[in-house]
Amino acid sequence: MLGNLKENDSIYVLDRRKRPILYTGVVVDVKPPKTQFGQPAVPGNNFLPTFIEISVRVEGEIMNMQQIPCDKDLVENSGSWVVSNNSDAMCAYIDNMKRTSQARLDSRVADEEIVEACDEIMPRLNPALAKERERESAIEARFSRLEDMMQRLLERELSGKE
């Protein structure tokens, strides 16, 4: 639990702002637990959630982290930082992050296949769309032939001047 942190304890800090980077920091200061209303926590009173404020040295810089719930193993700070003193909790978080991203990548492939299938189906249902696609294909073919002709002329012109 993060509420058990003491000075010189190791802590994992995952930076999620861009490409995820995991840092191992050292706790340099822990403020006594307080309630959500800023009052000092009363030992044995489990009715009100308690929070700590910690300072952590990461890569030579001090990070101040406030409102860290005492009863959690892992805390996510507005989606940009994740903090934990438990390697298993951090591993589970990172594994879940990877599975979520992989699912989005897999979904993208499926979505591309759906778009292709819809593009094939629509002309069968809408003759005007089919004619428009035929016209676009014919124009593309003409441009392609024109480019080929220009390339051959340019090559012939360059080879004649050498």
Q: What is the pLDDT of residue 146?
A: 92
Quick count: other Cβ atoms within 10 Å of Cβ 102? 10
Tens of pLDDT, residue by residue over 71-102, are 889 998 877 899 999 999 999 999 999 999 99
Tell me which residue of 87, 84, 82, 29 sits closest to 57, measured CA to CA: 29
Mean pLDDT value of segment 96-121:
89
Tell me which residue of 61, 89, 88 sits closest to 74, measured CA to CA: 89
Every domain of the chain and the residues it spans: 2-85, 126-162
Tens of pLDDT, residue by residue over 36-73, are 766 666 666 667 788 889 999 999 999 988 888 888 89
